[in-house]
Structure formats: C-alpha cells, structure tokens
Amino acid sequence: MNSSVIIEIRPGAGGDESGLFAADLFKMYRNYSLKKGFGCTVLDSNPSSVGGFKQIVFEISGNGAIDIFKYEAGVHRVQRVPKTEKSGRVHTSTVSVAVLPKATEKDVQINPADLRLEFFRSSGPGGQNVNKRETAVRIIHLPTGTVVTAQTERGQDANKQFAMSILRSKILENVRNKEHHQMQSERKNQIGTGDRSEKIRTYNFPQDRITDHRIKKSWGRIEKIIDGDMDPIIKAFQKEEIVPSVQ
C-alpha cells in the first residue's frame, strides 16, 4: 500500500450551508496539499445548485500524505451565518470526512464476478444531466453491498478506474476497521475511537476560532486556515500522542 490517501467529504446536518462548508473543507485540503507538493485529483463529485457539494471524493497523492491527513477523519462542525441566511442568525452545520489509505490491486484483490457495473449520464448542480453519453460509472460490490460512483471524467474507462480505486480503498478500510475494533474491544479508556459520529472539530466563525476537541487546542485566523494554511493544526497533532481515525 502506498502513502497516498482518498478523502470523501459529505454534508451532514444543515442543508445548503452544510454543502457550502463541504466545499470550504475541500478547498482547505486541496490548497494545503498543493502547498506541500502533493497531487490532488477529484475522483467523484456532486455539486449543489448554490455552489457547494452534495459529495466530493478526491485523491491526494504523494509520499507521506496519509501521515498528514489521517487526523481529519470524523465529523467537522461549523458555526456561522450562512450566505443564504437573511436574518443574520448563526447556524450550526456538520460535515463528515472519511480518510482512506489508497489501496492498490495488490492490497485488495476483487473478483470481477462480484461486481455489478452501471453506466449513467453525469449530473451537474440541480441534478440535471450534463453529458449526452452515459460516461458516469456506478459499481456495486455484491458481497459487501458497497456502492461507489465516478463521473468527473469524459470517458467510461477513466471513470471506471477512479471508481475501482475508491472501491478498493473502502473495502480495505472495512477490513482494517473490523480488525481494529476486535483488537480494541477490551480497551475502555481509549483516546479517539475513530467513530465518525464524534464531532472532532468546531469552526466558530463569529469568534474566529477553530477548536479540535480531541487535543483540546484552538487556533484563530479561520479564513487563513480554510484557505490552506493548515500547518498550525497538523503540527499540533504531530506533537500529540493520539490515536487518529485512520489506523
């Protein structure tokens, strides 16, 4: 297994505002990865009509990427006045981030007979079809029920390769999570269980403060961090002895 990583961002509670914050997190990870010399490739995305995402999956490639981004897995909470809010009230929304070590064909061998492939037209904001040809790919792994899609490329073959990359990484994560939970079942006082229902971090815009609840540290200058200056957060985690969400 290489040290590249696949990140999946999905809006949670909060409607359009949650989708907009999903786009902000993607911008943060993309800009930071490019500053560090990593590659960033979108594997699948479903944009919303207001400029956010209903889902986005992307790969950050480069030696050591997993060691940097493994701490991002979990539920991120944002508190701010949404662009769509007319009365000026602060809303609380959530976004979930999954961080998967990228699996290769050597790491996870998949029997083609276990797959069902479906092809459809790519969709844009609002759900309208943006391509005349059925280039988007949906793959169902029948033994586990895992479903992945890819629709960012113009050709079926490229989207199929992207979808298979996501599928291998999800299957590997499931196997490793089962092993991890079996090993940790007798530990009652864990630091960080990796449960994505936990709110790992809060972004409070009115107070210009980001707080990570696992290491109980806060940082100011939210806009700068969202723009890609994640070094203060990453370095704080590298100094702490904490079990991240990706094992």
Question: Does residue 127 register a pLDDT over 70?
Answer: no
DSSP for 84-146?
Answer: T-SS---EEEEEEEEEEEPP-TTT----GGGEEEEEE--B-GGG-B--SS--EEEEEETTTTE
Ranked by mean pLDDT, the top range of 83-92, 190-199, 220-229 is 220-229
pLDDT at 190: 34
Question: How high does pLDDT run on average in the chain?
Answer: 82
How far is the first Cα of the chain from the last one, in angstroms, to the nearest whole number? 13
Q: What is the rounded distance in angstroms from the CA atom of residue 110 to the CA atom of residue 157? A: 17
Q: If you ran DSSP here, which 8-state letter would residue 213 be given?
A: T
101-107 average pLDDT score: 76
What is the average per-residue pLDDT within 50-66? 90
All domains of the chain in start order, with CATH: 5-102+189-239 (3.30.70.1660), 112-184 (3.30.160.20)
SS (H, E, C) 52-81: CEEEEEEEEECCCHHHHHHHHCEEEEEEEC
b/e per residue 194-213 (b: at least 16 CB within 10 A): bebeeebbbbbeeeeebbbe
Q: Which whole number is the average pLDDT over 121-130? A: 60
What does the alpha-carbon distance between residue 100 and residue 169 come to, in Å, rounded to a whole number?
A: 6
pLDDT above 80 for 68? yes
- 162-203 per-position pLDDT tens digit: 898 888 888 888 777 665 555 444 333 333 333 334 689 999
Highest mean pLDDT among 43-47, 145-149, 212-216, 239-243: 212-216
Please report the pLDDT score of residue 215 as a whole number: 92
